Amino acid sequence: MQQKKKEIKINTKYPSVTDLRNRAKERIPKFAFEYLDGGCNEDVNLHKNTSEIREVELLPYYLSKHTGSSMKTELFGHTYDAPFGIAPVGLQGLMWPNSPEILAKAAFEHNIPFILSTVSTSSIERISEITEGKSWFQLYHPTEDSVRDDIIKRAEAAECPVLVILADVPTFGFRPRDIRNGLAMPPKMSVKNILQVLGKPSWAMNTLKYGQPNFETLRPYMPKGLDLAQLGKFMDQTFTGRLNEEKIKPIRDMWKGKLVIKGVANEADAERCIKLGLDGIIVSNHGGRQLDAGESTIKPLVRIAEKYGNQIKVMMDSGLRGGPDIARTLASGAEFTFLGRSFMYGVAALGKEGGDHTISLLKTELQQVMEQVCCEEVKDFPNHLL
């Protein structure tokens, strides 16, 4: 059945991601905002992501023939309405109750991809139902082969078209704010955190309405009645972040859909992905949350896209905060882009309207850039790179 085209309508009080971020900060408890907003260590990589991408400049051609601009983008056999999607984010329900469901629904209605994280607060099955089998799934690597195989089978049964395996969390990032807030994997509720909750009534009311967030996809593998310390231990034992070729090969053999690795940060790893038969890579540094001494993503993107762009689908995330950033990334060689925080700021700021608003905002901004520079199709963006 042909999907109805979603109307683009934005809330005029929040016409930028910065506005949404500011509102989110007012509306959710400090420990939740800082978990979302922060990078790692001294936040150097976080700031480089957002500043270096903005050094990319585009050339407008005002006198060229223009017959209209379309954001439609073909990726892995599906034509999306825009060249951006929603990156996987863990613990989403902590930042705003029901947020994975809100974002998945908005992504489905706008015909853009939503990626569910293994450690988000909704299940593969629920998100697949909301998106009619269109959402992608991101896998944290389980220690036990049986858990890995079971999760992969569930993703297949839920008709996920794309499985994303994560490469850039061999260890959890060192995040001083989360340490100070007592927010670990999983979150701890200290008296200080509870006081912060009391100051944010709409967050607290919604949390009461939807219940305490839980790792819904992992429920079948978790013993019942774990206290927080035991839950932390369970997570450590259940997942091993460090990926290698031996771990990727059986997944490639098992998974019949498209397979993507997220967290590629250099040419050598990109080449490995091609040799292993991957379908795509997301050049990413996890939004600056893992290696403070690393490069911003736009730099390796340029090198990787130039060298391997004709052999594998090259996508990018980290540091994008609006339509012009999406345009800069596409002009620098990415075929598709993802954003993490921007969408979560939107939902934290506006609740159930937040997904629709943020996608509409990004579509409006990107359409404006395309018309301004005289770019008719997304694939032509590199012609506008200065």
Ligand X SMILES: Cc1cc2nc3c(=O)[nH]c(=O)nc-3n(C[C@H](O)[C@H](O)[C@H](O)COP(=O)(O)O)c2cc1C
Residues that bind ligand X (CB under 6 A): 35-36, 49, 87-90, 117, 119, 138, 166, 262, 284, 286-287, 289, 317-320, 339-342
CB-based contact 113:141 (threshold 8 Å): no
Q: How far is the CB of 212 from ligand X (least distance, A)?
A: 18
What's at 251, amino acid-wise?
I
CB-based contact 239:140 (threshold 8 Å): yes
CB-based contact 170:164 (threshold 8 Å): no
Task: Report how far residue 385's alpha carbon sits from residue 369's, in angstroms, rounded to the nearest whole number.
Answer: 13
Residue nearest to ligand X (CB): 340
CB-based contact 269:166 (threshold 8 Å): no
Closest Cα partner for 206 from 357, 88, 89, 101?
101
Nearest CB to ligand X, comparing residues 173 and 257: 173
Going 26 to 30 to 36 to 42, the CA torsion angle's sign is positive
CB-based contact 281:275 (threshold 8 Å): no
Decide: helix, strand or coil at residue 372.
helix
Nearest CB to ligand X, comparing residues 27 and 286: 286
Task: Report how far residue 178's alpha carbon sits from residue 32's, in angstroms, rounded to the nearest whole number.
Answer: 9
Q: How far is the CB of 31 from ligand X (least distance, A)?
A: 12
Q: How far is the CB of 166 from ligand X (least distance, A)?
A: 4
Q: How far is the CB of 379 from ligand X (least distance, A)?
A: 23
Closest Cα partner for 85 from 319, 315, 379, 348?
315
Q: How far is the CB of 168 from ligand X (least distance, A)?
A: 8
Nearest CB to ligand X, comparing residues 81 and 317: 317
Tell how strand 78-80 and strand 73-75 pair up: antiparallel
Say which residue the tokens 């800082």 belong to: 34
Nearest CB to ligand X, comparing residues 36 and 75: 36
Nearest CB to ligand X, comparing residues 178 and 356: 178
Q: Is 141 a catalytic residue?
A: no
Nearest CB to ligand X, comparing residues 138 and 332: 138
- Annotate 216-282 with DSSP letters as a single string: GGGGGGSPTT--HHHHHHHHHHHB-----HHHHHHHHHH--SEEEEEEE-SHHHHHHHHHTT-SEEE
Nearest CB to ligand X, comparing residues 236 and 377: 236
CB-based contact 97:64 (threshold 8 Å): no
Q: How far is the CB of 82 from ligand X (least distance, A)?
A: 15
Q: How far is the CB of 260 from ligand X (least distance, A)?
A: 11
Task: Report how far residue 113's alpha carbon sits from residue 103's, in angstroms, rounded to the nearest whole number.
Answer: 10
| Element of type H or E holding 183 | none
- Among candidate residues 66, 78, 141, 286, the one labeled active-site is 286
Closest Cα partner for 90 from 197, 208, 241, 244?
241
State residue 61 phi and psi, 5-degree precision: -120, 95
Task: Report how far residue 330's alpha carbon sits from residue 381's, in angstroms, rounded to the nearest whole number.
Answer: 6
- The set of catalytic residues is 286
